[in-house]
Structures are given as structure tokens and as C-alpha cells.
Amino acid sequence: MTDIPLGPVADLPVCEGRAYAVQGHQIAVFRLRDGSLRAVDAVCPHRGGPLADGLMDDRVVVCPLHGHTYELETGCEVATGGPSVSTYPVHADDAGTIQINVPERNGAL
């Protein structure tokens, strides 16, 4: 796994998400009310909706297109039991930079 800097945590408002391109893959990072971070695939597996634009709370994000709901901690789809999204370890370092851990690329994340 490799730590990849994404940018200042201050640029990500509390209770919002933002999509980042990481090694050719879109990952959505969310900043929770307590300031902690969660990261999941940015594209809903149902119909490609932008999860970073979905409504979220401290536990789930809801796809803005069709309402599929994913746990931010596990990536499990909780509304219909549909396909899950991948989750990624993410944190803010001491300098306030968002750092994400992604597997080394062997053709796929």
C-alpha cells in the first residue's frame, strides 16, 4: 500500500464529499462531523452515479441518482443489498494533508 496525498483537509467542508482521481480511479472522500475522513469508490455500481455528490451522514452516503445507500465504513449497500463499493484507508496527516492508502496497481485497484 502507498500513501498518496490528495490535498488540504481544509478544502473539504465538514459533511461533504469530493471526488479525487487516484491512479486512474475515482475515489470519493467524505469529511464527517467529527472531522474524521472516509473514502469509497466515487462511482455508484448501479448506474454510475457520483457518490461524492450524494447526501451523507456519519454512517452512509446516498447515491443522488437512484438512492442506493452505502455504508462509509464497509462499502456495503444497505438499502437493497446490491453490489458494494470499495473502501480505502484515509486520514489527515499532521500538516493537514489528506492521505489515502491504495493497493499497488497491478492493472486494477
Among 50, 69, 49, smallest CA distance to 60 is for: 69
Output the pLDDT for position 71.
Answer: 98
Residue 11: exposure state from Cβ atoms within 10 A (0-12, 13-18, ≥19): exposed
The per-residue pLDDT for 11 is: 97
C-alpha torsion angle, residues 18, 62, 100, 9 (rounded to 10): 40
Walking along the chain (109 residues) 10 residues at a time, the average pLDDT comes out as: 91 97 93 97 95 97 96 95 95 97 65
CATH topology classification for 2-102:
Rieske Iron-sulfur Protein (2.102.10)
